[in-house]
Structure 1
């Protein structure tokens, strides 16, 4: 009886929270920041106990090790939920004709964006703190663009569908991070490293090149609805994906060069 009572109370509080829209963005951002801190600390603890090479790494390498664990967890979280919202839920389905697709949102979608804002704020803070050891100016620009678009979509509910489409591109992050881990523990010449390179190439091609082609096509099909957004919303829909596409193409070129070099060394 006691367990059932507390379960009902928890469900009641959750429903009240999800209905309290004004509080959802801010509490979810704080929750995202706290989750990043939790993942960082757990990674530090688990790695020290289970990876022999971790304690011997330099302080900066351990920081990056833990930082990449945060980005991996966030990438898995945001990719799964973005795919669900864009392709499997009814929220952004074209057959829902009750309102414009560019203005649709829910407490769930808003809270997910808040968690992601919390992650990018945390990661940007770490980049600034250790600059340029965790990333150069391209990472700063990427994160600032991400925070601006995420926060705007979260607070105004405008263009959330395109925000989640862009967030699907985070599916490449775990592969990139795994590549760094393999290199750090001395497995650069292993078969796993080569397979990882091929997977990163294919995932980048799909999630950061072809996906953005689909985004631009989707914008074209719904241009009449996009044009009804506020000026800043239009800028985010047109400019941010375009800027990220340029950066993705530049990084894709580096991935191709790295993969060619890896294959050449094994021949």
Structure 2
């Protein structure tokens, strides 16, 4: 079932999914997101051009994280053939989800380059995500680790919602803002930290097998390098969220501008 010989082409069905995802994402950014926001709040049209771009991108990211996150956790609990000990093989459910993830990453990267409203670290993050998506599709590589990595996306909707509430100047002491902040922290631990831990544990034991040393440089960069980077980022983000939660519990009205 495993193979030491990597592939370098993307099958037509996954390429079509990738391209369709780009079209859908750009439609959400350009048409669906603004349409929804204008019906939710009148504040949308009062925002500056840059803020509207950020809101539209966030709506696109929210939809993506919900779809990919739910699909990933569903596959994780229902597909028994996706094993952490198998490094390179064809797993259609994972490849379909990764096609969507890859399509979103490329769409977002294009928007970031065109509109230039986000910083360089954000662009580099999306470049790495797009690279990871390509490696999985082209090499049929590490489907278990791809899946557990995408499971982290389910923490995204609450984080995206927090950004929308902040941009729309929702009072940070309001019930809506506080509840979303609590949900953001809980979902971050339940989905992102849990999936990150599963990934780290299994990759550690995989490193003691022969198959691990048959991977290419691109795969090491994608999975080992990517996991280490995201582990550090997740710990950093979790620390900021916990500090924000503590301030929230103490009734402070000035919260961290990044979280809570």
In the other structure, the counterpart of 1:193 is: 177
- 1:211-222 correspondence runs (5 A): 211-222=195-206
**Structure 1: unaligned runs, 5 residues or longer:** 1-20, 95-99
Judge conservation of contact 1:24–1:110 (CA < 8 Å) in 2: no
- Normalization by structure 2: what TM-score? 0.83
Structure 2 residue matching 1:54: 3-state secondary structure: helix
Per-residue CA distance 1:226-260 (angstroms, 9 max, x = gap):
33333332332211100111122222233233333
In the other structure, the counterpart of 2:34 is 44
Higher helix content, 1 or 2: 1
Residues 139 and 38 of structure 1, relative CA distance in 2, 3 Å threshold: same
Answering whether residue 175 of structure 2 is matched by residue 175 of structure 1, we say: no
Q: Give the superposed CA RMSD.
A: 2.2
SS in 1 for 2:46: coil
The worse-fitting range, judged by mean Cα deviation, of 253-262 and 146-155 is 253-262
Aligned length: 240
1:234 match: secondary structure: helix
Matched, 1:123 2:113: no
| Aligned 1:52-201 pairs, distance under 5 A | 52-93=42-83, 101-131=86-116, 133=117, 135-187=118-170, 188-201=172-185
TM-score (norm 1): 0.81
Runs of 4+ in 1 over 6 A off after TM superposition: none
Corresponding residue for residue 221 of structure 2: 235
